[in-house]
Chains A and B, each alone.
Chain A
C-alpha cells in the first residue's frame, strides 16, 4: 500500500542505473533532502543544533567512513578516534596558517591529509587480518593521540595543550568560533554530510565498491578472480580516513570549538563510531545514518527520562547508558547482525503487501 514498485519501468540505461531506481524511494529521498535543506534551517535553534543535529550529522560522516572500511571492505578498525584527531589537528593548522582561505577548502584538505595518514596505517592490512588488524589499528589510536599531546607544533605551542578554533567564515558567513548562527553551522555540516553520503553511495555501487566487497567476503578468492588486494584495501583505508578526517575537522572546528585530544578523540570515540555502524547496519549507507541517529539520541533521551523526569543522579544515567549500549550491541549481533538497516528493509517488504498480505 505504502511502498510500491509495481509500474516502475526503466526505459533507458541511465534510468536503470540511478541511485534510487524505485520511484517511491526517490521521492522519499527528495523529501528528506527538502526538509533538511529548506525547512529545518529556518526553524532551528541553538539547543537543537548543538545537542542533536550537529553531532548527528558529524557522526554520520564518521560512521559512513568507518562503514566503508568495516562494512564494505571487512577491515575492522579501532583507530577512528585517532584519525578524527588527525582531521581536527590538520584543520586547526590550516585554519591558523591560512586564515583567508575558505573553511570548505580547509575541511576538505584536512580530510585529504587524514586519508594519507590512513593509508600509512592501512599498510599492515596487507599482511594481517581480522582482529589482528583490529589490534594493530589500536597502535594508530594510541600513537596519534600521544603525538598530538606531545609535539607542541601541532597545537601552536599553546600553554594548555588545547586547540581552539579561531573565527573563520565562508562566503562572509561565520562558521567557527563562539558567535556563529545556528543555521549556518547546521548548513555547513549538512553540506558535508550530503556530499559524503552521495560520494560513498556511488563509490560502493561502482567497481571500487565491488572490489571492496569481494575482499570482505573472501580475500583469497577475490585475489584469484583478479581483484588487486593492495589497491582495494588501500583505497578503502584512504576513502574511509578521508571521511573520518572530515568528521574530525567538523567535530573540532564547528561543533566543539576547543579540543583536548585525549578527551575528545580517545578510544571511546573509536568504539562509539564502531557501535554506530554495528547497530545501524554493516555495509549500508542508510545504516550509518540510522546508527548515528540512534546513538546520538539515546543519551539525550535517557537524560530527559532519567534526570529530568525521574530525578536520578546523572552518573547512574550515564552507567545505564553504557549497559544499554553494550546490551544492544550483543542483541543486535545475535538477532539482527545487519542492524537497523535490515529492519528497515524488512519493514519495506512488509509494507509492500500491507494491508493484504495473503
Chain B
C-alpha cells in the first residue's frame, strides 16, 4: 500500500469527523430556519455562549463578576464550588431555554412578518449582543472546557490500521465521541419531530404558519421550543468544539462555516445539513492536503468551504436537498 494513499485515507477520515461537527452546528440553523424562516446568524455565538456558561457554572464563577467589581469596587470572582459536569449541563440547558424565551419575547415577537433579510440582520445584532454579554458575564480569557470526554489518539485504530497499511492512522477519540453524539442527536431530533405532539406541531408550523395557527398551534410556544432546541444543539456543539480547541472567540467563527454547509445541503433539510457537513469537512481537509499545502501555501481551510458553496450555488441555488425556489411577482 503506497504511503500517499494511506495519508489520503487518514485525511479523509479526519475530514469526516470534522464534517460531523460542522453538521452539528448546521442542525441548529436548520431547526430555526424551518420553523420560523429566521436565518440565525447567532448560532455560532450561541455555541460560544453555551460553552462559556457551562464552564462558568462548573467552576462556580460569579456572573458579571468583573462588571460588579468595577462598579462597586468589590473583589468577588468565585462562589467557591465545583459542580459535576452533568449537573452543570442541566443548568446550562436551563439558561439556554431562558435565552430562547428572551430572544422570542424581546426581539422576534416584534419582527414577525418582516422581510427575511431584516430578520437576518437582527440575528447579526443578536450575535454581537450575546458575544458582549458572554464576555461580560464570564470574562473573555481562553478557557479549556473539560467535561470528562476521552481525548487523544485512539490506540485501537492506530494498531489495526498499522497492521493493514503499515502506517497507524491518527484519529482523535474526541472526534469519535463527537460523531457518535451527533448521530444520536440527529436520530433523537428526527424522532422528536416525527413521533411527538410538539414535534408534529413544529413541522406544521414549518409547513405553513397560518394553517398551523388556525388549527390551534401556538406559534409563540413553538418558536420558543425551536430556539431552545437550537440552544441545546449549540450547547452540544460548544462542548465538542470547546473540548477540541478551547472556549474562545474563534469558536463562533468556526461555527460560521456551518453557513456554506447549509448552502450545500439546502436550508430546509436535516439530512442536507449532515451530508453538506460531511462534504465540506472532507472537501476542505482533502483540498488542503492535496492542493493547499503543496501548491498554495496552506491555510486554505479558511475559505475553501465558502468558495465551494459559492461555485455550487451558481449551478444549483437551492442546494442539494433544498426545496425548489419558486418566485412569483
Q: Which residues of A contact B (CB under 8 A)?
A: 74, 76, 123-124, 127-128, 130-132, 134-136, 138-139, 142-143, 145-146, 149-151, 218, 220-221, 224, 267, 271, 274-275, 278, 310-313, 315-316, 319-330, 333-334, 337
Contact = CB atoms under 8 A, between A and B. Distances in A.
A322 B137 CA distance: 13
Nearest to B127: A326
B70 A316 contact: yes
A330 B306 CA distance: 27
B66 interface: yes
Given A319-B140, A326-B127, A139 B296 contact: no
Given A128-B313, A319-B132, A333-B111, A135 B259 contact: yes
Nearest to A262: B302
Interface stretch (B114-122, B196-204, B212-220, B221-229): B114-122
Contacts of B183: none
Nearest to A330: B125
Interface of B: 39, 66-67, 70-71, 107, 110-111, 114, 116-118, 120-122, 124-133, 135-136, 140, 253, 256, 259-260, 263, 296-300, 302-303, 306-307, 309-310, 313-314, 317, 327-329
Nearest to A144: B303
4 interchain residue pairs of minimum CB distance: A329-B125, A326-B129, A322-B132, A326-B128
B299 A149 contact: yes
A135 B70 CA distance: 39
B70 A131 contact: no
B124 to A, nearest CB: 7
Contact of A146 (B71, B110, B303): B303
A86 to B, nearest CB: 15
A131 B260 CA distance: 11
Contact of A326 (B111, B132, B313): B132
A321 B132 contact: yes
Contacts of B313: 124, 127-128, 132, 136
Contact of A334 (B111, B307, B309): B111
23 contacts: A123-B314, A124-B310, A124-B313, A130-B120, A131-B116, A136-B263, A136-B306, A136-B309, A138-B306, A139-B306, A145-B302, A146-B299, A149-B299, A313-B66, A313-B70, A316-B70, A322-B131, A326-B129, A328-B125, A334-B110, A334-B111, A334-B122, A337-B114
Nearest to A221: B329
Contact of A322 (B70, B129, B309): B129
Contact of B314 (A127, A138, A320): A127
Contacts of A310: 70
A76 B118 CA distance: 10
A327 B327 CA distance: 33
A327 B124 CA distance: 10
Nearest to B106: A330
A330 B70 CA distance: 27
B284 to A, nearest CB: 12
With a 10 A CB-CB cut-off, give which of B117, B263, B307 has the most chain A CB atoms.
B117
A218 B329 contact: yes
Contact of B70 (A123, A150, A312, A337): A312
B299 A327 contact: no
Contacts of B260: 135, 138-139
A278 B120 CA distance: 12
Contacts of A124: 310, 313-314
B117 A76 contact: yes
A322 to B, nearest CB: 3
A320 B307 contact: no
B107 A330 contact: yes
Say whether chain B's binding surface is mostly helix, strand, loop, or mixed.
helix
Contacts, number: 146
Say whether chain A's binding surface is mostly helix, strand, loop, or mixed.
helix
A327 B128 CA distance: 8
With a 10 A CB-CB cut-off, give which of B118, B122, B297 has the most chain A CB atoms.
B122
Nearest to B315: A127
B39 to A, nearest CB: 5
A142 B122 contact: no
Contacts of A150: 296-299
Nearest to A145: B302
A317 to B, nearest CB: 9
B140 A326 contact: no
B57 to A, nearest CB: 20
A130 B140 CA distance: 33
A218 B260 CA distance: 25
Contacts of B125: 275, 278, 325-330, 333
B129 A330 contact: yes
A143 B301 CA distance: 10
B309 A135 contact: yes
A330 B303 contact: no
A123 B314 CA distance: 9
B120 A131 contact: yes
With a 10 A CB-CB cut-off, give which of B111, B260, B302, B328 has the most chain A CB atoms.
B302
With a 10 A CB-CB cut-off, give which of B125, B260, B298, B299 has the most chain A CB atoms.
B125
Nearest to A78: B124
B124 A271 contact: yes
Given A316-B66, A337-B118, A135 B263 contact: yes
Nearest to A271: B124
Contacts of A313: 66, 70
With a 10 A CB-CB cut-off, give which of B127, B303, B328 has the most chain A CB atoms.
B303
Contacts of B121: 76, 274, 278, 329, 333
Given A139-B303, A333-B118, 12 more contacts: A135-B259, A135-B309, A139-B309, A142-B303, A220-B328, A319-B132, A319-B135, A319-B136, A322-B128, A322-B135, A326-B132, A329-B121
Nearest to B128: A326
A171 B303 CA distance: 42
A319 B132 CA distance: 5
A323 B306 contact: no
Contacts of B310: 124, 136, 139
B131 A326 contact: yes
B95 to A, nearest CB: 17
Given A76-B117, A124-B314, A323 B136 contact: yes
A327 B106 CA distance: 11
